[in-house]
Structure 1
Amino acid sequence: MHPHPRRLALIDMGTNTFHLLIVELPTTPGQPPHELLRTKAGVRLGEGGISKGEIAPAAYSRALHTINGFKEEIDLHSVTEVKATATSAMRVSKNGPQLVRDIFEQTGIQVEVIAGAREAELICAGIRRAVDLGPELHLLMDVGGGSTEFIIANQTTIFWKQSFEIGAQRLLDKFFTPFDGIMPAASVAAEREYLAGVLAPLTAAVAEFRPVSLVGASGSFDTLADMQLGVVRTEAEQPPVTELALASFQSTLRHLLSLKHEQRVALPGMFPMRADMLVVASILIDYVLTTYGLTRIQTSAYALKEGLLAELLLG
């Protein structure tokens, strides 16, 4: 018997949310890892700066504060290995490398800033742990704060993947400022027109591979699943996969487009940090559903960090 079981901490530093997953690896091969902690923090790393190519001072200090908090949990759980990745906001910010250095100096955690294509692969690996895709092709979609990944895949093969710098924080900065009231119809139309241009490569891929359904992962989809239920759930309370009824999504979209900020915050199941971003993200999701004629939506509670875990277990 191995005296000290391997304990892994997986950190996903997204543009909106930082995630921490701590697992103990089984001593018997073939057993699933035992989950010790699953938590997230709304950091809004992209707020006030992502569209200008830098991390704003307030966001920078929130990031350091959050990682220091994660480090306390990692120490409490006697973790033996830490794997930390950062995505869109850190990829494009001129002070991203400085933040990586500061995190290392303060916590000893080495953050790897990963490219969009690699992010898409890990997201796919994570989704496959939650959803059995089977032999049919599905469109996988992860709406982040900085980027949105699209993958066309089944359970065994990725046929196409691309990361687009159209995350919810960027869409918010571009189409909805100042953000206090109802999104004007002209802004909704402008976002849809913009998406039609930017997503041309996706449109071509969908025409070629004809995916049968949409599988969504990450913040906006988690919140849509919570809103269908009318309850905000913690990361640990969400089941791996939720069937999101098209009618539920459409009714949420109508609400989001017709309500003011305070009213959106008050919607059952709404995560307050997401009350504005969910508007532009839902227009993006709706664009994808209507343009590509998809009527089935599943949401995956697993994404990038579970993909990292899957990779480490296989490796």
Structure 2
Amino acid sequence: MISIKKYAAIDIGSNAMRLLITNVVEQEGKETQFNKNELIRVPIRLGQDAFTVGEITEENIDRMIDAMKAFKLLMKVYKVEKYMACATSAMREAYNGKEIAEIIKKKADIKIDIIDGKKEALIIATSDLSQFLNTDETYLYVDVGGGSTEFSLFSDSKMVASKSFKNGTVRLLNEMVNDIVWQEIEKWIRIITEPYEKITLIGSGGNINKIFKLSGKMQDKPLSYMYLNNQYQYLNSLTYEQRIAELALNTDRADVIIPALSIYLKAMKWSGANKIYVPKIGLADGIVKAMYYGKI
């Protein structure tokens, strides 16, 4: 006997907003499956507002309301029975973030939880990583967003340490990340990985997913440090317009993909990792699983 439930997660990030609709498949005697039904991404760069002027502009508030109304209707059409909406660094740093959440609750009937970096890292870690984690290996999980990057170290399939840093792609584009932040990240990574002989990276986020897609590799195969570095150099050699025209990158992806790669490359260098796996998981996946297992 199979039971199928529909859950949804809304990820309100610094570079884009996403609605993930998932089929939760329950079957007696078997492990619950989480199958992606639909993923809708809306490129509203809230971080550009929040990190530069400290507030979300009226124009983007209106766009958010429209997007949330659309998400609400889509969840109704898909017959979603349970959902959760989480906002990350842009909304939590904008002084009008809480006010916007109240407006959206009133106009779109969607409740938004503005979560801190620690909770964001913990939710991301809830994503089903078990199929990627070998018990005899150690992994550094790196999730690069527009406003922050979450790092989690896993050893023996258990999370050993987790930390969020205000170093994201939109911040880097606006030259808002100083050397001290980079030094803090390097120090943290080196200290937590030092006891382990070999580290493998797991990367998540739209930018590394795009790089992986361009590689043409199978999902269970990793990318090498050399490949990632070559891609970084190649993308840097192209203009913004060339990245859009020749690589078919979205306009809101063509600029942030380079700073994103710089974060992954530095994480690999400082941890001593020479390869990175790219499973299709992230905050939205973590939200669905955390809801299902009653962790949030």
TM-score range, shorter chain: 0.7 to 0.9
SS at match of 2:281: coil
RMSD: 2.7
SS at match of 1:36: strand
Higher mean C-alpha displacement, 255-264 vs 195-204: 195-204
Aligned 1:42-81 pairs, distance under 5 A: 42-81=43-82
Per-residue deviation, residues 110-159 of structure 1 (Å, max 9, x unmatched): 11111111111111221516633434210100000011000001463111
Higher mean C-alpha displacement, 278-287 vs 91-100: 278-287
SS at match of 2:262: helix
What is the TM-score when the length of structure 1 is the normalising length? 0.82
CA distance in 1, matches of 2:25, 2:224: 36
Distance 1:263 1:104, change over 3 A: same
Higher mean C-alpha displacement, 28-37 vs 148-157: 28-37
Indicate if the aligned counterparts of 1:15 and 1:144 stay in contact, CA closer than 8 A: yes
CA distance in 1, matches of 2:131, 2:247: 25
> Counterpart of 1:223?
210
Shift of residue 9, structure 1, vs aligned partner = 1.6
Equivalent AA in structure 1 for residue 22 of structure 2: V
Matched, 1:165 2:166: yes
Shift of residue 31, structure 1, vs aligned partner = 3.7
Higher mean C-alpha displacement, 150-159 vs 89-98: 150-159
Matched, 1:110 2:89: no
Per-residue deviation, residues 20-69 of structure 1 (Å, max 9, x unmatched): 12234345444424543222222211124323322233332222222122
Indicate if the aligned counterparts of 2:65 and 2:108 stay in contact, CA closer than 8 A: no
Q: Gapped runs of 5+ residues in structure 1?
A: 176-189, 231-238
SS at match of 1:275: coil
Aligned 1:8-87 pairs, distance under 5 A: 8-26=7-25, 28-29=27-28, 30-87=31-88
**Aligned equivalent of 2:254, options 275, 278, 283:** 275
Higher mean C-alpha displacement, 39-48 vs 21-30: 21-30
Q: Gapped runs of 5+ residues in structure 2?
A: none
Equivalent AA in structure 1 for residue 149 of structure 2: T
> Counterpart of 1:124?
125
SS at match of 1:149: strand
CA distance in 1, matches of 2:221, 2:58: 37
Matched, 1:308 2:287: yes
CA distance in 1, matches of 2:82, 2:25: 15
Per-residue deviation, residues 238-287 of structure 1 (Å, max 9, x unmatched): x8655224333122111122222112223425333111111222222222
> Counterpart of 1:265?
244
**Aligned equivalent of 1:204, options 173, 177, 191:** 191
Identity %: 25
Per-residue deviation, residues 196-225 of structure 1 (Å, max 9, x unmatched): 345422332222455511110011211211
Equivalent AA in structure 2 for residue 253 of structure 1: Y
SS at match of 2:69: helix
Per-residue deviation, residues 71-116 of structure 1 (Å, max 9, x unmatched): 1111111222221111111111101111111111112111111111
Indicate if the aligned counterparts of 1:15 and 1:46 stay in contact, CA closer than 8 A: yes
CA distance in 1, matches of 2:214, 2:221: 12
CA distance in 2, matches of 1:24, 1:226: 24
Equivalent AA in structure 2 for residue 274 of structure 1: R
Distance 1:5 1:94, change over 3 A: same
Per-residue deviation, residues 173-194 of structure 1 (Å, max 9, x unmatched): 116xxxxxxxxxxxxxx97775
> Counterpart of 2:226?
247
> Counterpart of 1:89?
90
Equivalent AA in structure 2 for residue 309 of structure 1: V
Q: Which has the higher strand share?
A: 2
> Counterpart of 1:178?
none
What is the TM-score when the length of structure 2 is the normalising length? 0.87
Distance 1:227 1:38, change over 3 A: same
Indicate if the aligned counterparts of 2:13 and 2:89 stay in contact, CA closer than 8 A: yes
Distance 1:310 1:171, change over 3 A: same
